[in-house]
A and B are shown apart, each in its own frame.
Chain A
Amino acid sequence: MTRDIAVVAFAQTDVLRTTDELSEVEMLMPVLHSVLDRTGLKTADIGFTCSGSSDYLAGRAFSFTLALDGVGAWPPIAESHVEMDGAWALYEAWTKLLTGDADTALVYSYGKSSGGSLRDVLTRQLDPYYVAPLWPDSVALAALQAQALIDAGDTDESALAAIGARSRRVATLNSHAQLRGSVPQGDYVVRPLRTGDCPPVGDGAAAVILAAGERARELCSRPAWIRGIDHRIEAHTLGVRDLTDSPSTRLAAERAGAFERPVDTAELHAPFSAQEVVLRKALRLDDSVRVNLSGGALAANPMMAAGLVRVGEAAARIHRGESDRALAHATSGPCLQQNLVAVLEGEPR
């Protein structure tokens, strides 16, 4: 069966460098209440709940189970979890709604990166035989990609600096962003990437509500209909890949229908400045498209939530009538290893 499914509500926390005073569920709960309030739904009304988070950020096994206290998981609810960014939880929820088993879904994700050293923590997602024993951190791997782009003539250090500066400048309009306004480009972290090319490390959470068909129209005056969504991955061996390109993003975008008609807005999950260069090329985005008006991941990159935030930001622009057709992208893994693309549309006004 075919059903139209839309994002009908979005909420996010302010992204902060540390949130020591809050447990994960304490950080998450205001966002859950906020997104429910926007639709008037109660937790008991939700047909399916799906979340994204990572035990490696928390340093504890099954950490997501404690967060379930925040959604009212008793009496038992239909619930699932992905050990990934919430954008992938949204994909699972979208699939669930497509089957007709549920009409509404709550999707949330969160990450408290402040508990550990994120650069070290992220090495544990790498190939454990050939790569992880060398402890190449997340900035180092992004720097290899940046140098490959510079060598290919696709960008240079000043162009990269401009991407970071633009992201933080537009983020002055985003009260949830962690870095806003002018930020020094700073010293090399791992050359050629400087502080300004790298995302801030922060804690945060996000939530969206999906609804199908007429239910979506009841819950939202202008639903952001998901016209297509797809996700693809690259070979995990970095040396097999062309780091200056992202064929998985291009394929996901094609399958999501992104190239059928132009989009007016794009929210790209590019944690490092050089990755925006790769994504713009893969997604064929020209200057007519408004890219990352939220400030993107260079202004706030809450691990496991930043991808879901991209979908939420794109949808919210449609809800507010500021966009008619938007592309949202989420990534995971080193050097844009995994990529998800969603195309969202509002009905003609």
Chain B
Amino acid sequence: MPEILKAPLVVEFPFTRSLGPVQSAFLTGLRERVVLGVTTTDGRTLVPPVEYDPVTADDLRDLVEVAPTGTVTTWAWNHAPRRGQPLTTPFAWVLVRLDGADTALLHALDAPGPDAVHTGLRVRIRWAEERTGAITDIACFEPYDGGPARLTGSTDEFADPVGGIVATARLDYTYSPGRAQTAYINSLADRRTVGERCPSCRKVYVPPRGACPTCGVPTAEQVEVGPRGTVTTFCIVNIKARNLDIEVPYVYAHIALDGADLALHARIGGIPYDQVRMGLRVEPVWTDGARYPDHYRPTGEPDADYDAYKELL
């Protein structure tokens, strides 16, 4: 079996998230070096604050300041920090119950080693130098030998409250398309289009995915299809995609390659956009070094009869 293809795949997104009144007050408070909790109807103080009581589901809106000092309720020593974590040197993950709070906040503790950490350890917040209204405004916690720090007396009223956060995330994958699609992609490099025939219904699928979606059985028999085909349906694209160097309007079409029982999709070129039609006969146009056809253009043959492709719409 030829070697299975692999390629790096990076998924990256800067989610913009809006904040409710409680989260906004809490994160704005962090920007101002003030820690706010929320009080429940039965008198507990939740830090970090939430908008609904996890026990009673009551609306929670009454914010109250708690101290930037507290006590470790549990911890775990992280000797090999990973990308994105609060510290780049070994640190402890900690749940900290801040003085004045009844629940614990997850964050990092900067400590020289695991022997310096224990449940019950007194700690205090180390603020980030630049604060924007995010949980990372707490750079980390650090050991602290003392009682509850004095409160600032701040209320939950701040000038210029933050209304949202940008939650950036990046995940790195190694994508492998599997056996069937590897064979398809490799054949495209030789400018051939290869599908797979279902052993049960005999239909030829292109691109092949290793299974017949009608019969639910594996496909394996490779069948070369095309290169010519028939436009079965199309649309006219009027909006330019970012980073795509194609003049609008252009036509994107479903194309039933000769010998295939499933239409694939591609751009149509070499003909004015308003002259593309169902039944148009087309062929692929390859550019040097490309691993797939750049677009399809008319062959000049007469249009295909509707009955020849109606099952492939």
- What residues make up the interface of A, taking CB atoms closer than 8 Å to B? 20-26, 29, 32-33, 43, 56, 59, 66, 68-75, 115-117, 119-121, 123-124, 128-137, 140-141, 143-148, 151, 188, 190-193, 235-240, 243
A26 close to B171 (CB less than 8 A): no
B289 at interface, CB cutoff 8 A: no
Q: What A residues does B169 contact at CB under 8 A?
A: 124, 132
Considering the chains assembled together, what is the distance between the CA atoms of A36 and B15 in angstroms?
A: 42
Supposing A21-B1, A129-B19, A240-B46 touch, asked if A26 and B180 sit within 8 A by C-beta, the answer is: yes
Kindly provide the distance from the CB of B76 to the nearest chain A CB, expressed in whole angstroms: 3
A25 touches B119 (CB 8 A): no
Verify B76–A239 contact, CB threshold 8 A: no
Q: Are B167 and A146 in contact (CB under 8 A)?
A: no
Cα A240 to Cα B50 in complex, Å, equals 11
**Sampled A-B contacts (25; CB under 8 Å):** A20-B4, A22-B179, A23-B176, A23-B210, A25-B178, A25-B210, A26-B179, A29-B217, A59-B175, A68-B213, A69-B213, A69-B216, A73-B213, A116-B173, A123-B84, A128-B17, A129-B23, A131-B135, A134-B85, A135-B85, A144-B93, A191-B76, A235-B55, A237-B48, A238-B95
Q: List 8 additional A-B contacts (Cβ < 8 Å) besides A25-B209, A115-B9, A134-B107.
A: A25-B211, A26-B218, A73-B213, A115-B173, A115-B175, A128-B17, A134-B86, A141-B93
Residues of B within 8 A of A25 (CB): 178, 209-211
Which of A22, A129, A137 has its CB near the most chain B CB atoms (within 10 A)?
A129
Cα separation A72 to B215 with both chains bound (whole Å): 5
Known contacts A68-B213, A147-B75; A240/B103 CB under 8 A: yes
Task: Tell whether, in the assembled complex, residue A119 and residue B107 are in contact, meaning their CB atoms are under 8 Å apart.
Answer: no
CB distance from B250 to the nearest CB of A (A): 24
Other-chain contact of A32, B165, B212, B216 (Cβ < 8 Å): B216
Bound Cα distance from A121 to B172, whole angstroms: 9
Which has the most chain B C-beta neighbours within 10 Å: A21, A69, A120?
A: A69
Closest 9 A/B residue pairs (Cβ): A23-B178, A72-B216, A239-B104, A143-B76, A235-B54, A135-B84, A191-B77, A59-B173, A69-B211
Contact of B180 with A23 in the complex, beta carbons under 8 Å: yes
Q: Please tell me if the beta carbons of B210 and A26 are within 8 angstroms of each other in the complex.
A: yes
In the bound assembly, the distance between CA atoms of A120 and B170 in angstroms comes to 9
Q: Which of the residues A68, A115, A132, A136 comes within 8 Å of B93, measured between beta carbons?
A: A136
Residue ID in chain A nearest B84 by CB atoms: A135
Q: Once bound together, how far apart are the Cα atoms of A137 and B48, in whole Å?
A: 19
Residue of B nearest to A73 (CB): B213
Interchain CB contact (< 8 A) of B171 among A59, A69, A147: A59
Q: Which of B76, B79, B83 interacts with A144 by CB under 8 Å? A: B76
Residue of B nearest to A32 (CB): B216
Q: Assess the A21–B179 pair: CB atoms within 8 A.
A: yes
- A133–B215 Cα distance when bound, in Å, is 45
Rounded to whole Å, the gap between the CB of A269 and the closest CB of chain B is: 21
Q: A59-B9, A69-B211, A128-B167 are in contact. Are A20 and B172 (CB under 8 A)?
A: no
A21 and B178: CB pair below 8 A?
Answer: yes
Q: Which residue of A lies closest to B101 (CB)?
A: A239
How would residues 113 to 144 of chain B score, 1 for a CB under 8 Å from any chain A CB and 0 otherwise?
01000010000000000000011100000000
User: In whole angstroms, what is the CA distance A105 to B75 when docked?
Assistant: 44
- Measured between C-beta atoms, what is the minimum distance from B59 to chain A in Å? 16
Given A59-B171, A128-B167, A239-B105, A20–B176 Cβ distance below 8 Å? yes
Interface centre among B6, B46, B50 (most CB of A within 10 A): B50
Interface string of B254-277 (1 = CB under 8 A from A): 000000000000000000000000
